[in-house]
Amino acid sequence: MAETRVPIARYSTLREGAGISVRVRDMEVAVFLRDGTVYAFENLCPHQHIPVLAEGSLDGVVLTCPMHGWQFDITDGRCVHASGRLRTFTVHRDGDDVCIDLPEEEKEAWW
Ligand code: FES
């Protein structure tokens, strides 16, 4: 499936360990900066499908959902203690521009 590169943030506005949520029509993407690397994944906790992960707390690469404490490895989206997994996106940085790869058919759903 063809993918397109979509801008989601300015690197200079991201703060280490603090998440932001980027609204993209019918989807929110959570963006975290950790040790200079940007990680992006759908802002939807698989436990109760609530868009709160950008508000979670980060300890190393482990993100804890603020609702009921499920934890995820932000490097691959894997749930630490259950079988769930986040939808992660490949992140690219070009200077101050941060982009993700998105399947071509979802391109129209972005801004
Ligand atoms: S909604 Fe995230 S742990 Fe329950």
Q: What does each of the 111 residues of the chain score in pLDDT, given as a tens digit?
A: 688 889 999 999 999 999 999 987 678 999 999 999 999 999 999 999 999 999 999 999 999 999 999 999 999 999 998 888 999 999 999 999 999 998 876 555 444
Give residue 76 CA to ligand 1 midpoint distance, Å: 18
**CATH number for the domain including 83?**
2.102.10.10
Domain count along the chain: 1
Residue ranges making up the domain that contains 16: 3-109
Residues with CB under 6 A from ligand 1: 45, 47-48, 50, 65, 67-70
Q: In Å, what is the CA distance from 4 to each residue of 41, 59, 104?
A: 16, 31, 6
Ligand 1 atom 4 nearest Cα: 68
Name the residue with the closest Cα to ligand 1, atom 3: 68
